[in-house]
Chain A
Amino acid sequence: NAGVTQTPKFQVLKTGQSMTLQCAQDMNHEYMSWYRQDPGMGLRLIHYSVGAGITDQGEVPNGYNVSRSTTEDFPLRLLSAAPSQTSVYFCASSYRDSNQPQHFGDGTRLSIL
């Protein structure tokens, strides 16, 4: 099992560019989510999905889009990158029940110049 796979691991963008961060899981988890991690801020939820075709906003959704066309994949799109979006992004997945732990990818380190 690969678990949760994120690509790319590193990316540098210019302000205004768009890009998609990829996330795939092979555990047949219903739930998938995206977090951003900034120093001293902990993890903040961007968007999440409880199943294919269903997405919802988290704490900090502005500037990001998601879609969930399959159980396995949950891409995160930056529409027009801004320096404030410089961060480390983590994808996580889990079974839907609240007693199940989330499984995390290794992160994408994104810098916006």
Chain B
Amino acid sequence: AQSVTQLDSQVPVFEEAPVELRCNYSSSVSVYLFWYVQYPNQGLQLLLKYLSGSTLVKGINGFEAEFNKSQTSFHLRKPSVHISDTAEYFCAVISYGGSQGNLIFGKGTKLSVKP
């Protein structure tokens, strides 16, 4: 079975500062990893995904994430945040060949960007 831990429930940051949202997972098999973003009063949208290949994955809105197999981490980063990045961010993991019903979400990190 897999599990996902998002280490920070809330991250406040000032506009134009860099940010890192941390995600660790546990699994006995190979996994695919996803980051989703949820803006207020909306559903989740895919930000980026790691399937295979390069461990640095670029997503929408200037976000990127790095897969680290030895540390079982998939941290999300942005070098300079905007007010519009204020949202909740979810990390998710699923095993290779697993059922979509076994997609596991972390509990989310609320990013609050202040002017």
Instruction: List chain B residues, Cβ under 8 A from A50.
Output: 99-101
Binds B, one of A14-22, A69-77, A79-87, A102-110: A102-110
Instruction: List chain B residues, Cβ under 8 A from A41.
Output: 107
- B74 interface contact, C-beta 8 A: no
Instruction: Please report the number of residue pairs spanning A and B whose Cβ atoms sit closer than 8 angstroms.
Output: 60
Instruction: List chain B residues, Cβ under 8 A from A100.
Output: 100
CB neighbors of A among B72-99 (8 A): 90, 94-99
A42–B43 touching, CB < 8 Å: no
Cα(A101)–Cα(B51), bound, Å: 11
Instruction: List chain A residues, Cβ under 8 A from B97.
Output: 98
Using a CB–CB distance below 8 Å, which chain A residues touch chain B? Answer: 4, 31, 33, 40-43, 45, 48, 50, 56, 58, 90, 92, 94, 96, 98-107
Using a CB–CB distance below 8 Å, which chain B residues touch chain A? Answer: 9, 32, 34, 36, 41-46, 49, 51, 90, 94-101, 103, 105-108
